[in-house]
Each structure stands twice: as structure tokens, then as C-alpha cells.
């Protein structure tokens, strides 16, 4: 999945997170120079080990802003939401991204 060099960088990066902090796949993509697919595979592996849990955040493609709050389940996202920055209607299916929460020390 990750090269030996990237694995060492990843371990150092993931150890910098504290319990309750959000882990964004984009950070791994930028810091490790890996693909989006690789980032999600690595994070999903940590989820299966009980270190992370999946959450959802809404992102407006129109203005490029994230809209809080973060949702613990996809079903918890309201059907009708507008971007608080530009007013664009957000569709949970099109505008949600998977992020992870560190649940282990």
C-alpha cells in the first residue's frame, strides 16, 4: 500500500494526532504525495483496527468552503442544507466527504 519511506512518514504523522482530533484524507495526500484512493485505503485499515471512526463533513463545491457541523452518520445529515457562505443548496450525497476521528490514544 505505502512505500517504506511513506510508511515511516505516515506513522510519524498519525502519531501526531490526539484522541478526538479530525484526520482529513487530504492531509495524507499532501504530506505523503499519495493518491486519494491510497489515503482512504490506509485510513480505512486504521478504522478496522479500531483507531479511527468515520464521520462526514459537508463541502460546498461552489465556494470551496466546509460547512459544519460534522456528522457521525450519513443518515444524520439533514436533507436540506444551504451553504452559510454562498447560499448554495447542498446535497448530502454530492457534498459530503468522509473524514476520520481519532478514537484511540
Q: Which domain holds residue 86?
A: 4-102
> What pLDDT shows up at residue 42?
94
Mean pLDDT of 95-104: 95
State pLDDT tens for residues 4-41.
Answer: 888 899 999 999 999 999 999 999 999 999 999 999 99
Reported as a single tens digit per residue, the pLDDT across 69-94 is 899 999 999 988 999 999 999 999 99
CA angle 15, 36, 93 (to 5 degrees): 110
Count structural domains, the chain. 1
Our CA dihedral for 17, 51, 1, 61, rounded to 10 degrees, sits at -70
Amino acid at each position: 500500500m505505502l512505500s517504506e519511506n511513506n510508511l515511516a512518514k505516515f506513522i510519524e504523522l498519525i502519531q501526531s494526532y490526539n484522541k478526538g482530533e479530525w484526520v482529513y484524507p487530504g492531509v495524507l495526500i499532501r504530506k505523503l504525495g499519495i493518491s486519494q484512493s491510497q489515503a482512504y485505503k490506509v485510513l480505512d485499515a486504521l478504522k478496522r483496527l479500531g483507531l479511527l471512526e468515520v464521520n462526514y463533513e459537508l463541502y460546498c463545491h461552489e465556494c470551496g468552503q466546509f460547512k459544519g457541523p460534522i456528522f457521525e452518520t450519513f443518515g444524520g445529515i439533514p436533507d436540506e442544507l444551504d451553504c452559510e457562505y454562498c447560499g448554495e443548496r447542498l446535497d448530502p450525497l454530492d457534498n459530503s466527504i468522509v473524514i476520520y476521528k481519532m478514537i484511540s490514544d
